[in-house]
Amino acid sequence: MLLRPLPSSPLLDSGPVVAPPARDAGRPMIYLVSRMKLSTRSRRDLTGFWAWVDSREQWFYRDLQMVRGVRWFQAVIGELYTLECWAAFDDFAALGEYRHIVGTRKNDPEWESQRVSQEDWWEFLDSRVAGDPPCEVGFGCMGRVADPSSGTT
């Protein structure tokens, strides 16, 4: 896992705000957004924490093809040591399939044992579902999604 420094920013040298996973060829997506607060253990060992996140992400999302992408955000002002994980789905049916599979896997003692180890690293605060607007608005890295067939951005 490669830890990369955040780009500089006028606000606390914290790096730019960036968009959630990009739409697939301009199609609106929905996102399951989970917020977590890092544990004391995580705050004391950030390198170990990010290595664990990388490993967990590979383990947790394997075989979940309905998840189109995952993007992580960390709070740099306000609720420090708080993360958001944005998981992208094509539609609510795909989100429902994801929730069903994860719910079923919780019945597997080995899988569930590994899943609950996350409590050593973070506390879940809340989750929500967000969606792209019905039109392409915005600009720069946060806005309009390029149509790959048009050759424009």
Residue 100 CA: distances (Å) to CA of 93, 105, 119, 126: 10, 9, 22, 19
With contact defined as beta carbons under 8 Å apart, do 68 and 91 qualify?
A: no
Q: What is the pLDDT along the chain (153 residues), one digit of tens a residue?
A: 444 443 433 333 333 444 445 555 567 789 999 999 999 999 999 999 999 999 999 999 999 999 999 999 999 899 989 999 999 999 999 999 999 999 999 999 999 988 988 899 999 999 999 998 887 788 777 665 534 444 444
pTM listed for this prediction = 0.75
Amino acid at 92: F
Q: Which residues contact 73 (CB under 8 A, 6 or more apart)?
A: 18, 83, 84, 85, 86
Nearest Cα neighbor of 71 from 57, 59, 60 is 57
